[in-house]
Amino acid sequence: MIVLPLHKGSNAERSRHRNRQAILGQVRIAGTIGRAEIARALSLTTQTVSNIIADLSEDGLLLEKGRLSAGRGLPAIQYALNPEGGYALGIEIRPDAIFAALLNMHGKAVVTERIAITQAQPETVLTYVNALYARALDQIKNAQGRTLGAGIVMPGPFGVTGIAGMGSDLPGWQQVDAEAFFTEAIGLPVMLSNDANAAAMAERVNGLAQDITSYAYLYFGAGLGLGLIHGGQLVHGAYGNAGEIGHIPLPAQRGNLENALSRLSVQRHLKSVGKDAREIEALDQLFQQGDADLMAWLRTASEALGYAMAIVENIFDPQTVILGGAMPDAVLDHLVAHASLPERSVSNRPNAPHPRLMRGAAGRMTATLGAAALILNRALSSPNSYAH
């Protein structure tokens, strides 16, 4: 039996790969940037950066954007990501539908598709996934051969590490190693995740968190999920199930957090007074009307949110917390505005550079876009330590 190492060794090839990622990532955060500046940021020589940039340009990942004169000296040739240099496929599998999105290197969705399904057996799902992927390629000819991988979101729990080959909650998937199954069948590198984690990553690649490396994302899915990003990478936990914040008991014996703060919670509350809010649109309409029952729910939800914030902030000390998922924007905004943020929290600091709570991307496609974002993030950064 081989003793698993904490991390693997390095060689010239792996160094090059890392440096490519680092340069791409640096171009991304800078927008446009010259070679010498990249070299300074990454502690590499300009010569090395030049060589790798020649490679990346050759591969179509970078574009020249003219020279920028800044003070004395030869003006630096500026480089920027080529949005069409690569694509990432995002797939979200639900019991009743499959969503797909194709993102370019800027994290912009260039294709979105959905398909209703009546059964979610692996083979059936696979047929649809391949069909959706083919449809996407049909619309973006350029993406043929330039798709970096597929991120897939499906109902957990599965074992990202440790319990290998553990399947999903979906019927028929219990015995399936979904990651291996899709990798084989789609012919692309696959990353598997749950909705909250994917949503969190979406904000990093194209959203509020592009320059934030440590944050948490509170996600309204079926229940209440939490995606943790630390050093620009997802924190999965030992068994891949970190972020199950909905299961935490509420103060004052009112059950779990997701009893007060989730789609199911508001649906149940409104149903008990004879109102239907299964669709986001219906919920939005009730909110616009100032519906008293919804407002009552929002009061307890805001309280629960404040409590969730106390937990997340004090345990994780993030730069910010982002709230998003399957809720109308207006409702999320209301929650953000009315959450009673705990005073006794490490995050309650003067002159904080970010608000403690922000509204993220919401709606049906959040997790699908996030699935693709997992792939983009991998292309633009290594799961390694912060510099400094």
Partner DNA sequence: CGATTAACTCAATTTATTTGAATTATCAAT
Partner DNA sequence: ATTGATAATTCAAATAAATTGAGTTAATCG
Q: Which of residues 206-245 bind its own copies (CB under 8 A)?
A: 213-215, 226, 228, 230-233, 235-245
* CA dist list (Å): 92 to 64, 133, 150: 35, 12, 10
Partner from its own copies, DNA, none contacting 32, C-beta within 5 to 8 A by type? none
Q: How many residues interact with DNA (rule CB under 7 A)?
A: 30
Q: How many residues interact with its own copies (rule CB under 8 A)?
A: 83
CA 327/CA 283 separation, integer angstroms? 8
Preceding peptide of 157 cis, ω within 30° = yes
Pick one of 1, 2, 12, 134: the residue that binds DNA (CB under 7 A).
Answer: 12
CB of 351 to its own copies, least distance (A): 10
Chain centroid to CA 292: 34
Binding mask 12-41 for its own copies (x = CB under 8 A): x-xx--xx--xx-xx--xx--x---x--xx
Partner from its own copies, DNA, none contacting 316, C-beta within 5 to 8 A by type? its own copies
The string over 214-241, giving b where at least 16 C-beta atoms fall within 10 Å of a residue's C-beta and e elsewhere, is bbbbbbbbbbbbbbbbeebbbbbeeebb
Binding positions for DNA, 33-52, rule CB under 7 A: 34-37, 43-48, 50-52
User: Is 76 an interacting residue with respect to DNA (CB under 7 A)?
Assistant: yes
130 Cβ neighbours under 8 A, 6+ residues apart: 185, 186
CB of 4 to DNA, least distance (A): 17
Pick one of 32, 36, 42, 177: the residue that binds its own copies (CB under 8 A).
Answer: 42
Q: Six-digit token pair at 102? A: 């194709």
CA 4/CA 6 separation, integer angstroms? 7
Q: Which is nearer to DNA, 47 or 119 (CB)?
A: 47
Pick one of 75, 171, 231, 249: the residue that binds DNA (CB under 7 A).
Answer: 75
User: Is 21 an interacting residue with respect to DNA (CB under 7 A)?
Assistant: no
Pick one of 4, 6, 58, 73: the residue that binds DNA (CB under 7 A).
Answer: 73
Q: Which is nearer to DNA, 18 or 364 (CB)?
A: 18
Binding positions for its own copies, 252-281, rule CB under 8 A: 252-253, 256
Contact 133, 89 (CB under 8 A): yes
Q: Which is nearer to its own copies, 197 or 368 (CB)?
A: 197
**Dihedral angle at the C-alpha atoms of 161, 165, 170, 175, nearest 10 degrees?**
-160
User: Is 11 an interacting residue with respect to its own copies (CB under 8 A)?
Assistant: yes
Partner from DNA, its own copies, none contacting 30, C-beta within 5 to 8 A by type? its own copies
The string over 151-167, giving b where at least 16 C-beta atoms fall within 10 Å of a residue's C-beta and e elsewhere, is bbbbbbebbbeeeeebb
CA 380/CA 41 separation, integer angstroms? 15
166 Cβ neighbours under 8 A, 6+ residues apart: 157, 158, 159, 177
Cα angle 20-189-139, degrees, rounded to a multiple of 5: 95
Binding positions for its own copies, 135-194, rule CB under 8 A: 157, 161
User: Is 4 an interacting residue with respect to its own copies (CB under 8 A)?
Assistant: yes
CB of 359 to its own copies, least distance (A): 20
Partner from its own copies, DNA, none contacting 247, C-beta within 5 to 8 A by type? its own copies
CA 25/CA 41 separation, integer angstroms? 11
CA 138/CA 333 separation, integer angstroms? 38
Partner from its own copies, DNA, none contacting 171, C-beta within 5 to 8 A by type? none
CB of 378 to its own copies, least distance (A): 11
Q: At which residue do the structure tokens 């509170």 appear?
A: 218
Partner from its own copies, DNA, none contacting 95, C-beta within 5 to 8 A by type? none
Binding mask 331-360 for its own copies (x = CB under 8 A): -----------x-xxx--x-----------
